[in-house]
């Protein structure tokens, strides 16, 4: 026991000699080093912003222009028509550039579908051609074949795109660029796109090269790094720019060098580019320069001479506003995407590529540890002014060294982490000194017989609220609407997909307007279906009523549309298929707010009440009524609408049953004698049915069928007649409580 107490005393004395402030600073230093290894987003963004400042201070100087951008600009679109152009015109553009002596030509556009202007495709859109002319047009070569013939003779690289979703693979095996690896397997470190969008096979087979033009932005939307190699749909792919260099040098293979830390470089014989661990290069940007661009129409019109193109790398892309290919760089808020690729090539060919070597993090951590230890050791020895001078010297040394490596060696070595670490250690020591002084003052007061209790610690520094995923819980009414008979209707438009699209727009537009006019919020469109909700984001005390009004308005507008379509069908001598919709409404607690990811989210609604609304929409087919509502919705609007109880049902996927109702009309329908008789007879039918009085149920059902206006509920009457017959033949079990378990959605 005595030995243990003595040991503690010795440790306490050693700690006093070394200094508790120093021990605290060492613990803080260890924590900061661990933080750098984890590298959270704020540290990354601070580092990136620092490198942005470097580029703003010292942008890349343009001494040579090895790259020309053939721009599909506003002038070209005005002169030659909207994009996409016929592939024959693209073939003329490639041939013209080849004749002018272009070293290589790359497309920052993609030809993913056959040219619709090819003779054999375009002929189907002509009405008054004789069959001989049609056969003649069908026999002509397609525009894609014409372009492919030109590509076979030219040093062309086709652009491809990585996508976030898997794409169908072509039936034919398309050529791929040879890539070899040296060192470790680089694939775990590369950017990985689940899908790959390629050009039509005939063009892919003809072109000497293929590369991805996908540009990966940072979290803040700024382009700083561009991948040189990446994975797309499981396939190792080069970038568009590096594939151009391979085609120019006529190399067969691209070599990827990597180690356990990631990718180190990507090269071809005689040329190697350092990359980060993910196979990306840091682009040393120059400012946007219109001199890099020539108009595509000027090339086609022969206004561009060989001196502008000969022995240069040519990128074909667009700066036209309507084609939406713009990026943000550290130097320019808006830069055409094709110019980013041009700057990559310029930087690579001029040896101005920036790099952040894999050892950079080690150098930053070592610098932080060395200078922090120096501050920890010297702080108790030096006076305040000397310590301040030492700190300023550390700041100058760190910033100067980082700037030197950027300017002279094109290396990105971060100074912010060592600087922040030294500042944190310095502040910790200052705080410790302040705490020590406060302790001494308390001792003096104690010596004079005064006792001071410890001050209460208040938490004053609170971070502002951050945008986060999720939302708030509200009582809401949710609607699902779906078109009936869409498959059969689609078959009538088998040869006219544009007609089907036009018809869907004619249907969805009035349905949407009906919802919006009644204070609803459109959540999403799902093909021919609509999801909407009420009471968010704005409060709507009458959300159940407005949802029911919207549902009935939708039926009215579909009826008006059917009248118009029937008249059009008669005028054109075509068959007429009426449109109809089924609607499900339900009220209950939901969570509404921003749903999705930190990069992309939508304002949407979730909850069990939403799922029930979806199921009720599906049941409208079974019961033969256009609008079905859950019990909370129906009971909330029973004084304003014609409510008709349908069943006590357990929808698929839910164990708890729900009484469901038809919304059969507004107040005028509810007050009509015919509807009241129909409703009362069906209430009697349900009462007998649930009491196992099959004879009484059938009798009440027959009376309802004979009532005026019963035709609109014919399917409902038939459904219950079938159930009654089935239960007469095979009665339900003794514990049956009248619940019908729906087998379908």
Sequential DSSP letters for 31-81: HHHHHHHH--HHHHHHHHHHHHHHHHHSPPP-----EEEEE--HHHHHHH-
Does residue 302 fall inside a structural domain?
yes
219-244: average pLDDT: 91
Structural Rg of the chain based on CA atoms: 37
| Residue-wise pLDDT tens digits, 284-310 | 999 988 889 999 999 999 999 999 999
Domain range for 30: 11-58+357-438
Beta strands per DSSP E along 597-675: 601-606, 627-629, 642-650, 658-665
Domain's final residue, options 293, 323, 349: 349
Range scoring the smallest mean pLDDT among 160-164, 186-190, 274-278, 446-450: 446-450
Rounded to 10 deg, the angle between the 360-378 and 416-447 helix axes is: 20
331-338: average pLDDT: 88
Does residue 279 fall inside a structural domain?
yes
Instruction: Look at residue 131 and give its three-state secondary structure.
Output: helix
Same domain, 86 and 220: yes
Where does residue 621 rank: exposed (0-12), middle (13-18), buried (19+ CB within 10 A)? middle
Does residue 467 fall inside a structural domain?
no
| Residue-wise pLDDT tens digits, 677-698 | 999 999 999 999 999 999 999 9
Cα 637 from chain centroid? Answer: 39
Does residue 177 fall inside a structural domain?
yes
Domain's final residue, options 293, 317, 349: 349
364-390: average pLDDT: 76
Same domain, 368 and 414: yes
626-644: average pLDDT: 95
Residue 154 has what pLDDT? 94
- How far apart, in whole angstroms, are the C-alpha atoms of residue 213 and residue 221? 17
- How far apart, in whole angstroms, are the C-alpha atoms of residue 420 and residue 32? 9
What CATH number is associated with residue 633? 3.30.70.1230
Are 743 and 619 spatial neighbours (Cβ–Cβ below 8 Å)?
no
pLDDT score of 370 more than 90: no
Residue 352 has what pLDDT? 84
- From the list 502, 455, 501, 53, the residue with the least C-alpha distance to 285 is 53
Same domain, 253 and 333: yes
479-485: average pLDDT: 89
- How far apart, in whole angstroms, are the C-alpha atoms of residue 700 and residue 678? 10
| Residue-wise pLDDT tens digits, 488-536 | 777 777 777 787 888 888 889 999 999 988 988 888 888 889 999 998 8
Helix (H) or strand (E) holding 15: helix 2-18
Are 84 and 292 spatial neighbours (Cβ–Cβ below 8 Å)?
no
What b/e string do you get for 171-200 counting C-beta neighbours within 10 Å, with b at 16 or more?
Answer: eeeeeebebebeebebbebbbebeebbbbb
Same domain, 430 and 521: no
Helix (H) or strand (E) holding 195: strand 195-197
Same domain, 614 and 726: no
466-471: average pLDDT: 47
Same domain, 411 and 498: no
Where does residue 132 rank: exposed (0-12), middle (13-18), buried (19+ CB within 10 A)? exposed
Does residue 4 fall inside a structural domain?
no
Does residue 453 fall inside a structural domain?
no
pLDDT score of 445 more than 70: no
Cβ neighbours for 659, distance < 8 A, ≥ 6 positions apart: 631, 645, 647, 648, 649
Same domain, 249 and 294: yes
Same domain, 512 and 641: yes
What b/e string do you get for 543-567 counting C-beta neighbours within 10 Å, with b at 16 or more?
Answer: bbbbbbbbbbbbbebbeebbeebee
Same domain, 521 and 431: no
Residue 628 has what pLDDT? 96
Q: What is the 3-state secondary structure (H, E, C) of 248-306?
A: HHCCCEEEEEEECCEEEEEEECCEEEECCCCCEEECCCCCCCHHHEEEHHHHHCCCCCH
Cα dihedral sign, 612-613-615-616: positive
Does residue 427 fall inside a structural domain?
yes
Peptide bond into 12 cis (omega under 30): no
End-to-end CA distance of the chain: give it in Å, rounded: 75
Are 543 and 585 spatial neighbours (Cβ–Cβ below 8 Å)?
no
| Domains in the chain, number | 4
Residues of the chain with pLDDT > 90, as a percent, come to 41
Same domain, 695 and 569: no
Confidence of residue 382 (pLDDT cuts 50, 70, 90): low
Does residue 676 fall inside a structural domain?
yes
pLDDT score of 470 more than 90: no
Domain's final residue, options 438, 461, 490: 438
- How far apart, in whole angstroms, are the C-alpha atoms of residue 246 and residue 273? 13
Are 299 and 70 spatial neighbours (Cβ–Cβ below 8 Å)?
yes
169-188: average pLDDT: 83
Residue 186 has what pLDDT? 92
Rounded to 10 deg, the angle between the 2-18 and 20-38 helix axes is: 80
Residue with the two structure tokens 């890539």: 179
Whole-structure pTM value: 0.54
| Residue-wise pLDDT tens digits, 95-151 | 999 999 999 999 999 998 998 888 888 777 777 777 777 777 777 888 999 999 999
Cβ neighbours for 403, distance < 8 A, ≥ 6 positions apart: 54
| Residue-wise pLDDT tens digits, 530-551 | 999 998 877 889 999 999 999 9
Confidence of residue 183 (pLDDT cuts 50, 70, 90): confident
Same domain, 380 and 415: yes
Same domain, 424 and 518: no
- How far apart, in whole angstroms, are the C-alpha atoms of residue 339 and residue 347? 12
């Amino acid at each position: 026991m005595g030995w243990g107490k003595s040991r503690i005393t010795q440790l306490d004395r050693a700690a006093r000699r070394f200094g508790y402030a120093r021990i605290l600073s060492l613990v803080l230093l260890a924590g900061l080093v661990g933080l750098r290894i984890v590298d959270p987003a704020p540290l990354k963004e601070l580092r990136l912003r620092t490198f942005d400042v470097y580029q703003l201070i010292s942008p890349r100087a343009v001494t040579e222009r090895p790259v020309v951008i053939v721009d599909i600009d506003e002038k070209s679109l005005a002169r030659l028509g909207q994009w996409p152009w016929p592939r024959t015109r693209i073939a003329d553009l490639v041939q013209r550039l080849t004749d002018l002596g272009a070293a290589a030509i790359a497309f920052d556009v993609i030809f993913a579908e056959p040219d619709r202007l090819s003779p054999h495709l375009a002929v189907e859109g002509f009405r008054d051609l004789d069959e001989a002319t049609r056969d003649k047009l069908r026999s002509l070569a397609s525009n894609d074949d014409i372009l492919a013939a030109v590509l076979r003779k030219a040093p062309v690289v086709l652009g491809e795109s990585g996508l976030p979703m898997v794409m169908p693979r072509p039936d034919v095996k398309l050529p791929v660029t040879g890539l070899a690896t040296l060192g470790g397997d680089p694939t775990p470190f590369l950017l990985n796109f689940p899908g790959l969008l390629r050009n039509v096979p005939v063009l892919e087979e003809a072109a000497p090269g293929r590369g991805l033009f996908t540009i990966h932005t940072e979290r803040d939307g700024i382009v700083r790094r561009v991948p040189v190699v990446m994975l797309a749909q499981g396939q190792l792919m080069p970038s568009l720019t590096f594939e151009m260099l391979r085609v120019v040098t006529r190399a067969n293979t691209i070599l990827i060098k990597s180690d356990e830390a990631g990718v180190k470089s990507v090269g071809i014989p005689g040329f190697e580019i350092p990359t980060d661990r993910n196979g990306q290069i840091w682009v040393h940007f120059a400012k946007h320069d219109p001199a890099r661009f020539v108009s595509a129409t000027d090339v086609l019109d022969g206004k561009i001479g060989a001196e502008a193109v000969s022995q240069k790398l040519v990128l074909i892309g667009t700066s036209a506003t309507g084609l939406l290919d713009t990026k943000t760089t550290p130097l320019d808020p808006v830069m055409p995407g094709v110019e980013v690729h041009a700057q990559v090539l310029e930087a690579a060919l001029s040896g101005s590529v920036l790099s952040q070597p894999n050892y950079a993090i080690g150098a930053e951590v070592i610098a932080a540890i060395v200078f922090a230890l120096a501050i920890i050791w010297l702080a108790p020895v030096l006076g305040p002014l000397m310590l301040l001078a030492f700190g300023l010297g550390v700041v100058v040394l760190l910033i100067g060294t980082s700037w030197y490596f950027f300017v002279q060696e094109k290396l990105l070595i971060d100074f912010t982490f060592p600087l922040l670490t030294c500042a944190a250690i310095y502040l910790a020591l200052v705080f410790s000194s302040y705490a020590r002084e406060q302790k001494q003052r308390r001792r003096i007061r104690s010596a004079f017989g005064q006792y001071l209790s410890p001050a209460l610690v208040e938490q004053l520094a609170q971070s502002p609220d951050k945008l986060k995923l999720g939302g708030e819980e509200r009582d809401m009414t949710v609607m699902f609407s779906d078109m009936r008979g869409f498959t059969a209707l689609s078959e009538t438009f088998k040869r006219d997909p544009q007609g089907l699209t036009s018809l869907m727009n004619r249907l969805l537009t009035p349905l949407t307007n009906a919802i919006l006019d009644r204070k609803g919020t459109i959540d999403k469109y799902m093909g021919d279906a609509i999801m909407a909700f009420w009471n968010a984001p704005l409060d709507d005390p009458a959300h159940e009523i407005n949802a029911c009004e919207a549902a009935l308005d939708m039926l009215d507008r579909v009826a008006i549309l059917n009248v118009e379509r029937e008249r059009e069908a008669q005028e054109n001598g075509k068959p007429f298929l009426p449109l109809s919709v089924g609607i499900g409404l339900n009220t209950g607690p939901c969570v509404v707010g921003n749903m999705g990811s930190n990069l992309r989210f939508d304002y949407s609604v979730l909850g069990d009440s939403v799922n029930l609304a979806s199921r009720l929409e599906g049941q409208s087919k079974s019961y033969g009524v256009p609008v079905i509502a859950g019990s909370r919705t129906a009971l909330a609007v029973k004084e304003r609408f014609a409510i008709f109880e349908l069943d006590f049902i357990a929808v698929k996927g839910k164990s708890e049953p729900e009484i469901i109702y038809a919304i059969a009309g507004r107040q005028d329908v509810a007050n009509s004698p015919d509807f009241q008789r129909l409703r009362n007879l069906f209430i009697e039918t349900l009462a007998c049915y649930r009491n196992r009085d099959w004879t009484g149920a059938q009798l009440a059902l027959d009376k309802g069928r004979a009532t005026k206006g019963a035709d609109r509920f014919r399917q409902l009457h038939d459904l219950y007649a079938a159930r009654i017959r089935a239960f007469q033949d095979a009665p339900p079990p003794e514990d049956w409580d009248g619940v019908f378990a729906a087998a379908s959605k």
